[in-house]
Structure 1
Amino acid sequence: MGEEGFDFQVDHIISVIKDSGAEVVGLQFPEGFKRKSPAIAAQIESGTSVNVIISGNPCFGACDIDVALLDKVDMLFHFGHAPLDDNGLAGKTFFIEVRSRADVTEVVRKALPELSGHRICLITTVQHVHKLEDACRILETGGKECVIGRGDSKIAYPGQVLGCNFSAGRGEECDEYLYIGSGEFHPLGVSLATGKNVLIADPFVNEVRHADPSRVLRQRSAVIAKSLDAKVFGIIVSSKPGQERMQLAQDLKDLAVRHGMSAHIFTMDLVTPDQLLQFRVDAFVNTACPRLAVDEVGRFSAPMLTPQEFEIVLGERSWEALVFDEITGDCP
């Protein structure tokens, strides 16, 4: 299913702009929707008298508002994500969640016989949260008990999971999980956070599959092993509004010092292998987007650890207690 299967709410955006009196409007899209941006900008300019500026910067979530563009426009429409509780930019930023029009009923029925447990927790991304009640009814008709977790303060909708927050799954007692959506990262995160089976129901290809964290665990174990002899660590802090965890970075630096190690804090907006190439350290510790260390594994000039993996390296956490890093409502 292409972009036609999503609702970009262009008529609503035009109405909001007309009511606001704005003259310059910014648009920000995640990578998967960027190709749609010229057509949407053309529709908005045709339906209003505004000048539209499109952000060309990478966008990884609601944590990643284009602050530089926000300073140049009267309002910014951010597509594909629900608002976070603490980005502090909601006054001029309007979130267009881009809900999916995909029918999930067929793939949920297909998943039903693959679920071995009785009490099933439903999880998904913001694109499908409006379909969870339909999915629940199917599960209950099939003899299952269905629960939808509320999540912490960073979660906008019950059942919603982010790439950095799995609290909607962790907060409910259940036998296993059913994730509605495409991709592997979100269900893998829930599997590692809970230690339970996560079944993926992908409505775009009508496919049911099990989340298998074994490959990621092997990769993460290899990164930890490469860091065991490290003496100098570079702790990465993002300057993005929803990712900045300076207090955590300082706590990790203090922890390194207590263990007789050397640690330095580096702050930057976009964290890439090229950005870190000139910093000579034995290993990095990432406090920016939790997906960074996993998605870019092997591409950095030194091993890139998560905070939890850093604790394993220092002997503060057992290998068996390895989980994905999260940015939760109670993060420092």
Structure 2
Amino acid sequence: MVKTSNNLEFDLEYIFKIINKQNPDKIGLQFPEGLKRQSFNIASLIEDHTGKDVIISGDPCFGACDIDYYLLSTVDIMFHFGHSTMNIEDNSTVYFIECQSNIDLTNVVKKAIPELKGKKIGIITTVQHTGKIQSAVKILESHGFEVILGTGDSRIKYPGQVLGCNFSVTDSSQCDEYLYVGSGNFHPIGVYLSKGKRVIIADPFMDEIRIVDPFKTMKQRYIVIAKCHDAIDFGIIVSKKGGQKRDKLATKLKKLAKNHNKNAYIIYMDLITPEQLLNFKVDAFINTACPRIAIDDVGNYQSPILTPIEFEILLGERNWDDLALDEIRGD
């Protein structure tokens, strides 16, 4: 195992075995932003051990849905670090190298117990902690809780695993509330808005417990919808990334806009940033790409960005009570 500077580890021997078996001439490496600082060290380890040429992707990487296909076309095999496979298409020359957290979850899960009010607890986490989530299950069960680990749809590899675009492991109606083991607020807020049930965050990095409060996010989304009240011209963003590309949804939204006497234009993009959208003069955008684009950087875009659900609310096709985070689901 190789340990990174941010408490993650991965199996380097597994990589060597694949290289020895496949005997490639050129090897590609792709990293999410949080692991890019490790890229030179990992590339050196692979080159020194195998004698093969290694090329590193320098483009942003936002998840397993974001494969660098240009690099893939120039190498024989590619290792994609930090994410689990999503089973979205045949990438037989892409190997997903999961980076598991080596942080002990025991203390922070025990801290969460006094905050739990239900008896049936759904545990959710990100891929970094899936290898240790069973320890959290045992702790809760030893305190009399019934624990539910959802299996999710075809995009989800592990029970209890959530993605920034997929909360399908929470589809069980049996849970009284959810315990999210991980850092950050986006995933647990998404679960809260998706299920309308209480979510407790057990953050092993900060060693603290937080109760999800979606008020700020909900207020922002209501404001964005309100800003689009008189909008006529809409740009519908479609991602070129394989795991985010939703052509059919974009076509459906365009037809819906026309039915409501609105103008809509479909825009294909790879990297979606405030700067990239400046030259498109529309009243608002509708984002069908990664759901986090409309949420995380809401204040950085000159024109409002709606999710597909929010656009339907704007047009009166949905009720305001239907507001939830957008999800990209599998089978």
TM-score (normalised: structure 2): 0.97
How far apart, in 2, do the equivalents of 1:220 and 1:33 lie? 31
* Partner residue in 2 for 1:214: 215
How far apart, in 1, do the equivalents of 2:156 and 2:122 lie? 16
CA shift digits 1:109-139 (9 cap, x unpaired): 1111111111000000111112121111100
* Partner residue in 1 for 2:70: 68
* Partner residue in 2 for 1:306: 307
Structure 1 residue 172: Cα displacement: 4.4
| Counterpart amino acid of residue 15 in structure 1 | K
* Partner residue in 2 for 1:318: 319
How far apart, in 1, do the equivalents of 2:100 and 2:4 lie? 13
* Partner residue in 2 for 1:148: 149
* Partner residue in 2 for 1:77: 79
CA shift digits 1:43-68 (9 cap, x unpaired): 11111111111111100000000000
**Is the aligned partner of 1:195 residue 2:196?**
yes
CA shift digits 1:14-46 (9 cap, x unpaired): 221122111110110101111111111111111
**Is the aligned partner of 1:167 residue 2:168?**
yes
* Contact 1:170–1:190 (Cα < 8 Å) also in 2: no
How far apart, in 2, do the equivalents of 1:128 and 1:112 lie? 19
Q: CA 1:63–1:5 in structure 2 vs 1: closer, same or farther (change >3 Å)?
A: same
* Partner residue in 2 for 1:49: 51
* Contact 2:26–2:76 (Cα < 8 Å) also in 1: yes
How far apart, in 2, do the equivalents of 1:111 and 1:292 lie? 31
CA shift digits 1:184-239 (9 cap, x unpaired): 11111001000011111111121111111110001111100000110010000001
Percent identity between matched residues is: 55
Q: Secondary structure of the equivalent of 1:14? A: helix
* Partner residue in 2 for 1:16: 18
| Counterpart amino acid of residue 23 in structure 1 | D
* Contact 1:23–1:49 (Cα < 8 Å) also in 2: no
* Contact 1:231–1:261 (Cα < 8 Å) also in 2: yes
Supply the RMSD in Å over aligned alpha carbons. 1.2
* Contact 1:170–1:193 (Cα < 8 Å) also in 2: no
* Partner residue in 1 for 2:123: 122
Comparing 79-88 with 264-273, which one deviates more in the overlay? 79-88
| Counterpart amino acid of residue 59 in structure 2 | N
- Give the alignment of 1:108-119 within 5 angstroms: 108-119=109-120
* Contact 1:3–1:33 (Cα < 8 Å) also in 2: no
Q: CA 1:204–1:2 in structure 2 vs 1: closer, same or farther (change >3 Å)?
A: farther
Aligned residues: 329
* Contact 2:4–2:38 (Cα < 8 Å) also in 1: no
Which of 5, 8, 12 is 2:7 aligned to? 5
* Partner residue in 2 for 1:260: 261
Structure 1 residue 293: Cα displacement: 0.3
* Contact 1:149–1:172 (Cα < 8 Å) also in 2: no
Structure 1 residue 7: Cα displacement: 1.3
* Partner residue in 1 for 2:27: 25
Structure 1 residue 11: Cα displacement: 2.1
How far apart, in 2, do the equivalents of 1:208 and 1:3 lie? 24
TM-score (normalised: structure 1): 0.97
Structure 1 residue 4: Cα displacement: 5.2
Q: Secondary structure of the equivalent of 1:240? A: coil
| Counterpart amino acid of residue 295 in structure 1 | D
Unaligned regions of 5+ residues in structure 2, if any? none
How far apart, in 1, do the equivalents of 2:93 and 2:10 lie? 18
Structure 1 consecutive aligned stretches of length 4 or more whose deviation exceeds 4 Å: none
* Contact 1:287–1:306 (Cα < 8 Å) also in 2: yes
How far apart, in 2, do the equivalents of 1:160 and 1:80 lie? 14
How far apart, in 1, do the equivalents of 2:249 and 2:239 lie? 12
Q: Secondary structure of the equivalent of 2:74? A: coil
Q: Secondary structure of the equivalent of 2:298? A: coil
How far apart, in 2, do the equivalents of 1:36 and 1:205 lie? 22
Q: Secondary structure of the equivalent of 2:267? A: strand
